[in-house]
Structure 1
Amino acid sequence: MRRFAAVAMLLLATLTACSDKSGDKSGDEPKAIAWTKVDVGPAEPVTLTAHDSQLLVGLRHRGAKVVPELEFLDNGKRTPIAVKPNPASPYAFEAIWYSIAYDGKQLLALGGAAGGAHSNTRWTVWTGTPQTGLVERPQNFFTFGGQTAGDLYSAVLTPSGSALLGSWGGVQTGNDAMVWLPQSNGMWTRQDPSKTALQSTPSLLVGPGFGTTLGESIVLVGSQVRLAPGVVAQEAAVWRSAKLDTGWKRIVLPEPGSRSQADTATCTTDCVISGYADGQLAIWQLDASGTAKRLHGVPAIPVGDEDKLPAPVVDGGKIVQVVAQDNKVKVLSGQDGQWTVQDSTGPSGAPTAAALLPDHKLYLIAGTSLWQTTLS
């Protein structure tokens, strides 16, 4: 009997151990991503721009009237690019970088500083090259200001030319999406959105809020609001030109839910677009032909109107999206239907910008710091 009892106890212990092991999911949890803080001196990083193996970091000095800075970052080596404001342009000395475009040769930057009686953003435009530096090109007040002024959000460079992107008081109603193009005298001029997909109408309000490029095309992402008796529907949408500011088409992103918004995008051979639908993270793909699809299986991560998503990046065939959840930085990666969410060690604060280099190094602005990790 004692021998039988001992065998029974051993069998029970073995079964219990196996049961405990099968119920322990800790071994299935993906490993946290370790980030390393990158030294950018006393300034605060605000923008990231990647081109091939080059990374441009836009910097600001918070609370100080110091000229904004711009530098190349290469394996920890910082190479400053000269920034030359016009002495007669006071807001240039206080500008914060909103968007910096770089195509390997030319630089185009959009800066903004709050000013005036109503603390509206006073916009500044900068052009140049890494060798000559960024030079401010002063504009008259009504280039970006006035009673019907809207917002600006992106500077872009295409093989056909450069553009600034934003919004302006509508030809008919609301705000229209707006494109500014440069003139030979250094001034920028608003283009006419009338009778194009950029124009708002009494039954359809356009609302892009971010711009990038896909080959010769400009790509805007945001949302449209359909207005009908008893119906107000906000749907994630894309506006794409055929070439620079010509041939605009609007594409409503599929499976928009009851309320959705496209916040940001990265375009290479196609576009990966991030935003939200029904308060949760949503990711879409738009191919070169203009066909869009919503990617399935994206984990339920809350994203709202006030949240800023860094642009997604594509590493091989894998999409990588950095998000904030429960005041923590998390990294979502995968493909349609198959996703992994990893915690982060290092960064604190909301992530606002991300850029990937060909060596698989991913850079991230979170809070007031720049971070780097290498994707596996």
Structure 2
Amino acid sequence: MRAGLVGAVVGSAVLLGACTQGTEEGRSPAPAVAQLTWERVALPGSLAPETLATTTDLVVVGAHGPGRPRPHLLVGPDATTLREVALTPRSPYAFEAHWFGITTHGDRIDAIAGARGGAHGNYRWSTWSGDTKGVAEQEQPFGVFGSYGAGDLAGIAYAGDAPVVLGAWQSQQTGMDVATWTRTGNRWARVPSTGTPLASTAQELADARVVTSRGDGMLLGGSVTHLAPGAVEVEPVAWSAPGPSGPWARVGLPRTGDSGTAEVQGARCTGDRCLLTGVTDGHLSVWQVDAGTPRELTGIPAVEIPENGSVPSPVTLAGNDVVVAPTASGSTVLRRNGESWTSTGGPSGTPTSVVTHGDELWVVTSDDSGATTLWRARVA
């Protein structure tokens, strides 16, 4: 079965409504730029897109179908030639799973997926591995990702050629620790967080939302909640490690203003340079982490993020950083050239996953009912 394009959506005008009036510290009104024409990519068999990835020359689409087995993977060089990758689920919940993260290394594909089940409706996690010809579940003992003390999984990425899973696990002190898992053969094992910068304490609660490759190492993004008598402060934070098992270093990120809530929600590294996206007091924030001092970027068009909204990881297109951010009316696309930024309209719906492929921007969005749509637009 092949995917196809369903018409062309009228080119999106600049979303002035997505930008707050006037200027704020570190934020600027958006200049008008060329419109993007968004095309809906229809997947075969009424499949619903969930998440995206790319290999060197292929787009990878994680999707969910109406019949068992529900998870599907599609790959192809363009929107009209997407084909299904043979999947081999093994555990009962793998037949029902939704994709939570897909990562690639050359033609290798590794992924995490989950389906709710059991008396408490917690996620039952599954890990998958293979290539563009076939991907199979790597069935794990229940206690690897589940059982007492388990939190949710947040993502998967490569450190060099080794996949690493990010999630949370009950702290030996307070709340939940940031947790990572590494793989030996087909078996995953949790790396202890106690005594590392990933651990929570009675004064600081660590929470990581995203993991991304950084050369032979990796970078996590999230926040640390500082607990003090009569005060709670949420600081945007990154954690970096030179290899899949650490050692970890915590990097506090600057933020606009002196107080309030700020967190990292997306991240992407090119070499040692990393761009992180997130929210500070309801507005889009973008940080850069490299060999120098971390900084919050200025001159970014002011974008108000809806309550409980999350900003997907940034991408790179033709050497420019691109951020697709949710707004009250849908989404907006921000493009960086040097130190200047432009803004134009994104596809309808809330963006949840973004990749670039050649000169195209691919985006999965969801609507208020939870229905998802896959879009693409050529960026000049």
TM-score, scaled relative to structure 2: 0.85
| Structure 1 pair 266–180 and aligned structure 2 pair: CA distance change class (3 A) | same
Number of residues of Structure 1 aligned to a counterpart in Structure 2? 340
Residue 145 of structure 1 aligns to which amino acid in structure 2?
G
Residue 228 of structure 2 aligns to which amino acid in structure 1?
A
Choose which of 75, 85, 99 in structure 2 pairs with 1:72: 75
Residue 117 of structure 1 aligns to which amino acid in structure 2?
A
Choose which of 281, 285, 304 in structure 1 pairs with 2:284: 281
Deviation at 1:335, TM superposition (A): 4.6
What is aligned with 2:62?
58
What is aligned with 2:361?
362
Task: Indicate yes or no: 2:355 matched with 1:351.
Answer: no
Within-5 A mapping of 1:147-162: 147-162=148-163
CA deviation string 1:20-59 (max 9, x = no partner): xxxxxxxx73333211112322201111102333211111
Distance 1:308 1:375 in 2: 23
Deviation at 1:210, TM superposition (A): 1.0
Within-5 A mapping of 1:1-376: 29-41=32-44, 42-61=46-65, 64-75=67-78, 76-86=80-90, 89-131=91-133, 133-184=134-185, 186-255=186-255, 257=257, 258=259, 259-269=261-271, 270-287=273-290, 289=291, 291-303=293-305, 306-335=308-337, 338-344=340-346, 347-357=347-357, 359-367=358-366, 368-376=372-380
Residue 203 of structure 2 aligns to which amino acid in structure 1?
S
Whether the 8 Å CA contact 1:285–1:294 is kept in 2: the answer is yes
Residue 108 of structure 2 aligns to which amino acid in structure 1?
Q
Unaligned runs of 5+ in 2: 1-30, 367-371
Whether the 8 Å CA contact 1:236–1:256 is kept in 2: the answer is no
Choose between structure 1 and 2 for higher RCO, CA contacts under 8 A separated by at least 6 residues. 2
Distance 2:207 2:352 in 1: 21
| Structure 1 pair 55–315 and aligned structure 2 pair: CA distance change class (3 A) | same
2:303 partner SS: coil
Task: Decide which structure has greater helix share.
Answer: 1
1:77 partner SS: coil
CA deviation string 1:109-161 (max 9, x = no partner): 10100111111111011111223x11111112211112211110111223252
Distance 1:160 1:29 in 2: 42
Q: What percent of counterpart residues are identical?
A: 33
1:308 partner SS: coil
Unaligned runs of 5+ in 1: 1-27
Deviation at 1:192, TM superposition (A): 0.9
Whether the 8 Å CA contact 2:318–2:359 is kept in 1: the answer is no
Deviation at 1:68, TM superposition (A): 0.8
1:92 partner SS: helix
Whether the 8 Å CA contact 1:68–1:97 is kept in 2: the answer is yes
Distance 1:319 1:78 in 2: 26
Deviation at 1:290, TM superposition (A): 5.9
Residue 165 of structure 1 aligns to which amino acid in structure 2?
L
TM-score, scaled relative to structure 1: 0.86
- Which aligned runs of 4 or more in structure 1 are off by greater than 6 angstroms? none
Distance 1:316 1:90 in 2: 43
Larger Rg: 1
Residue 104 of structure 2 aligns to which amino acid in structure 1?
Y
